[in-house]
Amino acid sequence: MAEEHIKQRIRQLLKEHNAVLLAHNYMRDEVQEIADITGDSLALSMQAARTAADVIVFCGVHFMAESAAILSPGKKVLLPRPDAGCPMADMVTAEALEELKARHPGVPVVTYVNSSAEVKAHSDICCTSANALTVVRSLPDSKLIFVPDRNLGRFVAKSVPDKEFIFWEGFCPTHERMTLAAVLQKKAEHPDALFICHPESAPEVSSLADHACSTSGMYDYCRTSPAKKFIIGTEAGILYKLRQENPDKEFILASPALICPNMKLTSLEDVLHSLEQMAPVITVPEDVRLRAKTALDRMLAVPRD
């Protein structure tokens, strides 16, 4: 079936099912192009919860669809590729987290949204890459457990030297594949470019950045910056929207290794098949959903800087 015909059929089925199509910033270009809403994982779920849609089709990875199910219990959540997982989220389990908590009684757990619903349910508060520092600063405790991304945790810890961190040793394999040598080479090839990266990057890489921030922060930064050339240190999918929004600016991927195989699994054919079958449906047990939602609600209640 031709791509344009697939897109037309998807739009038709979305209308018939009163469905909204979400696509993470790292999805394939053609999937982002047809989506109703694109963005960061949690922002997508929050926006979807506010829509009148009965069905959420989430083009992303498993934990993202879980977040949508947590925030929209009255909606059906479809994940076109249920095998699209997140290696970092898989690096921590609720059982292992409980063992760590038992060794540090009373220490609050701050959990990155790139985690399973069960892990969120065993946490005190969640954070995103955009608000992690604000969330950590909001806690009165002098000691905390940060799960699962050690790189984001260490990035935040640099700005709060008065707090002691216990880091879970999880990481994003895609961002870790962006080496210091690769970035230095790109900077040497493009000395007039600013280097921006995601705080999931290794510390020695993020320390080189002119600006380190979330994907949504990268869009804002590049849109408002007077610079005309940027080296981008995050998953390649972000380039689609950056180039759409800034046709007069140049964007260079910091490393060819910045491609997440899980984020690239979802195709237009997968989306069409999901809408035709109204499956696979992602659900979260109610007891887990309520506890996970509490951790998310606590994060959302933190005043913004």
The per-residue pLDDT for 273 is: 98
What is the mean pLDDT of each successive set of 10 residues along the chain, which is 305 residues long? 93 98 97 96 92 97 97 97 98 98 98 98 97 97 98 98 98 98 98 98 97 96 98 98 98 98 98 98 98 96 84
Residue among 232, 161, 152 nearest 195 (CA): 232
Using CA atoms, how far residue 98 sits from 102, 147, 242, in Å, is 6, 12, 40
Q: Cis peptide leading into 161, omega within 30 of 0?
A: no
Token output for 84: 């699209």
The per-residue pLDDT for 305 is: 65
DSSP letters of 183-205? HHHHHHH-TTSEEEE-TTS-HHH
Domain spans of the chain, in order of start: 3-85+263-283, 88-173+288-300, 178-253
Please indicate whether the domains covering 3-85+263-283 and 178-253 agree at the CATH topology level.
yes
- Give the fold, CATH level 3, of 88-173+288-300: Rossmann fold (3.40.50)
Cα 168 from Cα 163, distance rounded (Å): 16
Q: Is 39 left (phi over 0), alpha (psi -120 to 50) or beta?
A: left
177 backbone dihedrals φ, ψ, rounded to 5°: -75, -15
Contacts for 8 with CB less than 8 Å, ≥ 6 apart: none
- Looking up tokens 């949204």, which residue turns up? 113
Using CA atoms, how far residue 208 sits from 5, 109, 155, 197, 254, in Å, is 45, 29, 12, 9, 12
Cα 141 from Cα 202, distance rounded (Å): 26
3-state secondary structure of 90: helix
Residue among 225, 268, 274, 272 nearest 246 (CA): 225
pLDDT tens sequence across 43-84: 999 999 999 999 999 999 999 999 999 999 999 999 999 999
Q: pTM for this structure? A: 0.95
In CATH, what number does 178-253 get? Answer: 3.40.50.10800
Cα 303 from Cα 305, distance rounded (Å): 7
Cα 239 from Cα 13, distance rounded (Å): 28
**CATH superfamily name and code, 3-85+263-283:** NadA-like (3.40.50.10800)
The per-residue pLDDT for 223 is: 97
